[in-house]
Structure 1
Amino acid sequence: MTPQFDYLIGHDVPTEQRNESTLGIDRLATGELVTRLIDANATIHRAVAAQSGQLSAAVEAALISWVAGGVIHYAGAGTSGRLAVLDAVELLPTYGVGEDRVRAHLAGGAAAMMHAVEGAEDDRAAGEELGASLAPTDVMFGVTASGRTPFVAGALSGARSRGATTILLASNPAAELAALADIAILPDTGPEVITGSTRMNAATAQKIVLNTFSTALMVRCGKTFDNLMIDVRATNEKLRARTVRMIVQASGISPEEARGNLTEAGGHIAPALVMALAGVDLAAAKAALAAFPPDPHRAGDPSGIRSALAALG
């Protein structure tokens, strides 16, 4: 068997194997079919949970990069790449973090988000060029269900050549690209419910891992106070209402007072929150926050808000 044919067979890739629990699903009535598909997700959380140590290590590595001013890069193709794009772009409205700090690269470019770009995932050279453009303080986070996608291989290899930190997420415990990663997150999601359709189990696990990674990173970087988003960009009425509600939830003041604080603070949640919790004016709130800027190394208070409140008495 030639290496190329062996690759196409995918005998060593779990997602390419037949799933015994979904054999014969085309014979089922709709209700039973839906139940069978839902049941197939039962093991995904356990598979991800088994990788909590590696995922924690990935967050810690990303924190080192963040403090050094580095950029977190995602690289992937197809469904994996699209999930990475979703995770990256949602950080801007949620945490005020844009492409200058977290950036996603989809094989085939932006057009591949909506339409398949033939051969893009096989373009190792494009991945290599991307990885080689990173700075040593950056992170390359490769996402691939099979653990062998050439575009991701190139991205990891190129990033390594620059001294950047490399992370791999794959649904293959024996992923060959793990050799190119400083940290490998490999949830064993097993055979897909539809053989080879990694938009199912593997993609669900990837979504959980990516969301957990970026959320943990944002919390550690001081983008939340308790479980409230303090850097959310209120660009519509729903989000403006959310910012008012967060001030109310955290402080117990009235919605009218919360709205007034936010207006006075120019829509910035942190000073409005300190004003509400400490009962001080905007100038005092800003001065206290300036003395305690966000710091992931400040135990128990990465945002600095608790320290600012303590300083205000």
Structure 2
Amino acid sequence: YQVGIEESDPFIVKFYRPERWSAEQVYEEHQLFFEMVEQELPVVPPLTDANGESLFSFQGFLFALFPRQGGHAPEFDNDANLLVLGRYLGRMHRIGQVRPFAHRPAIDVNTYGHTAVDLIRERYIPAEYRESYELLTEQLLSALNTIFTQLDTVRTLRVHGDCHAGNILWRNDNPHFVDFDDARMGPAIQDIWMLLSGDRQRQTVQLDTIIEGYEQFCDIDLQELRLIEPLRTLRMLHYAAWIGSRWDDPAFPVAFPWFNTTQYWGEHILQLREQLAALHEPPLTI
């Protein structure tokens, strides 16, 4: 929510939904912000009071204050912008690998896959789609488990977790990263794959450009390219479960009126079938 202040710039107040994150988990998110600010990275951190506190409570609701940040969406068809994004992501990940999160969960097949599928299957899938959904998700989770097991040596670090165009503001020729609400332990490629678009050839060029900038500040294990489609699949499963887990919140049916309709579940299953095929295709290479 934006809050106006007389003779001053307005604030953005962010309320944390009950049971979404604990205070310890939110503090870890804020700490990552502050570590990045120390290294002069263009992030939009929470404001602090005279005692250095960044998290506050009102009637049981946790909240934080952020400065309002202007900017426009980045142009991903501009290779120069992708090179800059890669450099800043490399700098962010150098900080992200300094220490792990102690309280925030990881991006993995269990939390983003099995837990998500269990919730959707038990509470939302219509009877006419249940058999298809159960068979399909069983195949998906089996494939995902196999891929992640084969790559169990991939390093995890503190990643943004939701690094797409909507969470990047372009201003003064530089990106400003916002909304670290989904920050978790995960592979570096998690913050890169959502920046890719277009056909396979175009994505390969984009990926090569981003990693060129990235590796000026941080190394990346190219084995992680094998995780792009698995991570996309997990995001799809997790996103449906994220909405479903909060469907009792009156704001969610208003914000997502298409969710939990027969048409939505039919399209969701079709998309998951496409992902099952994608999991067996050769990964992008550079």
Q: TM-score range by the shorter chain?
A: under 0.3
| Structure with greater strand share of residues | 2
Please give the TM-score of this superposition, normalised by the length of structure 1. 0.22
Larger radius of gyration: 1
TM-score (norm 2): 0.24
Relative contact order, higher structure (CA 8 A, sep 6+): 2
